[in-house]
Amino acid sequence: MCGVPATLDDLGFAKVNLTLHVVGRRPDGYHEIDSLVAFARVGDRLSFAPGGPLTLDVKGPFAAMAGTLDDNLVIKAAHALERLVGGLTLGRFALEKRLPVAAGLGGGSADAAAALRLLARANRIPAADPRLFAAARTVGADVPVCLDPRPRLMGGIGDMLSAPLDLPPLPAVLANPGVPVATREVFAALDAPMLPAAHQRGPLELPPHTVRERIARGRNDLEPVAVRLCPAIADVLAALRGCAGCTLARMSGSGATCFALFEGEPAAQAAARALGTAHPQWWIAASALGAGSPAA
């Protein structure tokens, strides 16, 4: 395409649920949540060469766990947007899978969101085009919040998003024990209250000065269930809480990745090094949490 680079690049930023409250289970079986979401400055790298048939090549340390191409959310996102945009130019995707899979970081959803951003750039679709959000909603519950990776409140089944929140970068360490945890199994084991058929959520609003307080007072309702299914999560939480300078440790999403917040970046970096030495089999990353950054 004239004026479009031969290859475009983007990042699928790791999504971290700083809080995750389960409101209840709807009559259709889906669970409604109330979550404060931020993004780490680490993620999968996705490139796109416009033109030709739709293809995907997956490499990287977690490529073997990424599943079949037909199930990959990058391909599903491209097909979803193609159904909404006539004459959409497709092409060749290459994914470097650097985030663990089934880890509570929304890696697949972040990859799908990155694919939509790349397709939008290649086809000169404005970032605010509602068709991008519509495509994201059809691919997965976490894809809409990953489309514009900035801190937000997420509600409903992931389809309700607040405006971006003013959250300063939070020094953090992410740690995963290398054990995949299936989101479906965690929710299936959760004894959540039933919501009435007429249940409706109000608008998602949070004054900026209450964000840190909300994190401190929050919780992850999936954490106790996930720990029962995957006891290694408790080991990760204990290790994080034992690090010097840790102010809070909690599980992200449905696990098994956990995060710890620290008083400053040096403390986070030191903790990541110490954890890496003590647990060389774990995936560990020190990163500020906030808005995703192209510098990741």
Enumerate the active-site residues: 15, 142
Rg over CA atoms, the chain:
19
CA–CA gap between residue 92 and residue 134 (Å, rounded): 23
Do 260 and 243 meet the contact criterion of CB atoms below 8 Å apart?
Answer: yes
List C-alpha distances in Å: 270 to 33, 85, 115, 236. 34, 48, 34, 16
The single-letter code of the amino acid at 171 is P
Do 14 and 174 meet the contact criterion of CB atoms below 8 Å apart?
Answer: yes
Sign of the dihedral defined by the CA atoms of residues 146, 128, 211, 188, in that order:
negative
Residues β-bridged to residue 48: 8, 93
CA–CA gap between residue 293 and residue 38 (Å, rounded): 12
* Cβ neighbourhood burial of 21 (10 Å; 0-12, 13-18, 19+): middle
